[in-house]
């Protein structure tokens, strides 16, 4: 069974020879692994979601069964470095390079109050020249041998607060400030086109998502999620299935989001990610018992403690244990619960790959 067959069988609810593997890493980790393996280092894609779709040749070489694609910035509006060293992307978000990630520094819609503020804002063009070239090349290279995961994380909530600032957006959401719905309408329209295009390009799994959870609880009350976000996500899912009725849909939400899982199932979710191991209520046996008949699980390998702090033997034991629970009867894509970061040794990363190969 090759990687693609293994991945598609899992998405189809069947039991493969072993669970398929997907891994994303930061550029620092990719450099470390390239030096160890002798593989060439590839610069990250210029994309808000670059870690999910960069270094895929390296991941496939190491044994990943699926590769990622994502939107990239267009030729006429690349990410730029300002004179003060800050970074500005095509959305107008200003970020600061903190070493491992670019952290938010200025929010282009921090002033927003009215619908006109949204109307006057220059949003990205989903079909600008150059946006899809990297995705097309990845599908051409791996579409017959590996699963294709199209990344559409920061689908609604996160992109909204990336534009306004988190505190402002949450306060304005509660106050029902005039700009909230026009802003979400615009983001929804853009990201619906992104998702439809990646399905057309050949995605097997469309990986949407917003972080609705903290380590211990939801970031907003359930009623607000159901009133504001759930209907929009349902609409997007319906649009995606018009392009391909058989497309599988994943949702990424870090944190303690168990109370929302039935809502996602109700609107047609197929795959839940990332199963953050140390978040409240996200224990694998409980999730499998409660939702294993309705969802495929994707993730579940701890990047907060296990991968950076465990020994290779501990990683082997825990990965095998989780695969035995979440993958019983099929329905599990093994993956770190986030990008593997540079606090994780190459020995531990290789232990993950080797353990999955031997399951």
Spatial CB neighbours of 38, under 8 Å, sequence gap ≥ 6? none
The strands making up 66-69's β-sheet, listed across from edge to edge, are: 66-69, 147-153, 205-209, 248-252, 271-273, 296-301, 332-336
In a domain, 100, yes or no: no
Number of domains into which the chain is organized: 1
Percent of all residues in the chain with a pLDDT value above 70, rounded to a whole number: 100
CATH number of the domain at 301, please.
3.20.20.210
Residue of 168, 156, 53, 69 whose CA lies nearest to 110? 168
In a domain, 106, yes or no: no
In a domain, 82, yes or no: no
In a domain, 92, yes or no: no
In the prediction, which pLDDT does 241 show? 98
Percent helix, percent strand, percent coil in the chain, to nearest 5? 45, 15, 40
Rg over CA atoms, the chain: 20
Domain that holds residue 130: 3-77+112-357
The Cα 275–Cα 188 span in angstroms is 25
> Is the model's pTM score more than 0.75?
yes
**Is the predicted pLDDT of residue 101 greater than 90, yes or no?**
no
Q: How confident is the model at residue 100 (pLDDT cuts 50, 70, 90)?
A: confident
User: What does the pLDDT look like over 198-227, one tens digit per residue?
Assistant: 999 999 999 999 999 999 999 999 999 999
When pLDDT is averaged across residues 317-343 and rounded to a whole number, the result is 97
In a domain, 234, yes or no: yes
In the prediction, which pLDDT does 190 show? 98
**Is the predicted pLDDT of residue 90 greater than 90, yes or no?**
yes
In a domain, 42, yes or no: yes
Percent of all residues in the chain with a pLDDT value above 90, rounded to a whole number: 99
In the prediction, which pLDDT does 341 show? 96
When pLDDT is averaged across residues 230-241 and rounded to a whole number, the result is 98
In a domain, 96, yes or no: no
CB atoms closer than 10 angstroms to residue 40: 8
**Is the predicted pLDDT of residue 99 greater than 90, yes or no?**
no
* Mean pLDDT, the chain, integer: 97
The Cα 37–Cα 301 span in angstroms is 23
User: What does the pLDDT look like over 154-185, one tens digit per residue?
Assistant: 999 999 999 999 999 999 999 999 999 999 99
Whether residue 206 contacts residue 240, with contact meaning beta carbons closer than 8 Å, is answered with yes
Q: How confident is the model at residue 47 (pLDDT cuts 50, 70, 90)?
A: very high
In a domain, 87, yes or no: no
Phi then psi dihedrals of residue 249, to 5 deg: -115, 125
Q: Report strand pairing: 147-153 vs 66-69.
A: parallel
When pLDDT is averaged across residues 332-357 and rounded to a whole number, the result is 98
Residue of 77, 81, 102, 101 whose CA lies nearest to 90? 77
């Amino acid at each position: 069974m090759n990687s693609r067959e293994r991945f598609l069988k899992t998405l189809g609810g069947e039991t493969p020879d072993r669970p398929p593997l997907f891994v994303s890493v930061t550029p620092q980790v990719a450099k470390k692994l390239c030096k160890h393996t002798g593989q060439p280092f590839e610069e990250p894609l210029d994309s808000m979601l670059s870690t999910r779709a960069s270094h895929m040749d390296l991941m496939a070489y190491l044994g990943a069964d699926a590769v990622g694609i994502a939107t990239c910035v267009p030729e006429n509006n690349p990410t730029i470095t300002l004179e003060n060293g800050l970074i500005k992307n095509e959305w107008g978000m200003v970020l600061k390079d903190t070493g491992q990630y670019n952290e938010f520094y200025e929010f282009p819609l921090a002033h927003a109050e009215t619908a006109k503020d949204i109307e006057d804002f220059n949003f990205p063009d989903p079909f600008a020249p150059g946006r899809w070239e990297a995705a097309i090349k990845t599908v051409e290279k791996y579409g017959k041998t590996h699963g294709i995961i199209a990344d559409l994380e920061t689908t609604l909530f996160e992109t909204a607060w990336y534009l306004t600032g988190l505190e402002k957006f949450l306060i304005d959401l509660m106050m029902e400030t005039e700009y909230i719905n026009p802003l979400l309408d615009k983001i929804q329209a853009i990201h619906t086109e992104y998702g439809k295009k990646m399905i057309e390009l050949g995605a097997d799994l469309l990986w949407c998502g917003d972080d609705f959870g903290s380590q211990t609880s939801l970031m907003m009350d359930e009623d607000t999620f159901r009133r504001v976000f759930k209907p929009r996500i349902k609409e997007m899912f319906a649009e995606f299935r018009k392009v391909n009725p058989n497309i599988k849909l994943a949702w990424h939400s870090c944190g303690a989001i168990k109370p929302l899982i039935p809502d996602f199932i109700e609107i047609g979710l197929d795959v839940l990610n990332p199963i953050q191991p140390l978040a409240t209520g996200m224990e694998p046996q409980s999730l499998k018992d409660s939702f294993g008949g309705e969802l495929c699980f994707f993730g579940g390998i701890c990047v907060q403690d296990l991968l950076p702090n465990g020994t290779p033997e501990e990683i082997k034991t825990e990965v095998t244990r989780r695969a035995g629970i979440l993958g019983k009867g099929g329905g599990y894509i093994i993956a770190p619960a986030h990008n593997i970061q540079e606090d994780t040794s190459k020995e531990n990363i290789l232990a993950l790959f080797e353990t999955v190969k031997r399951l």
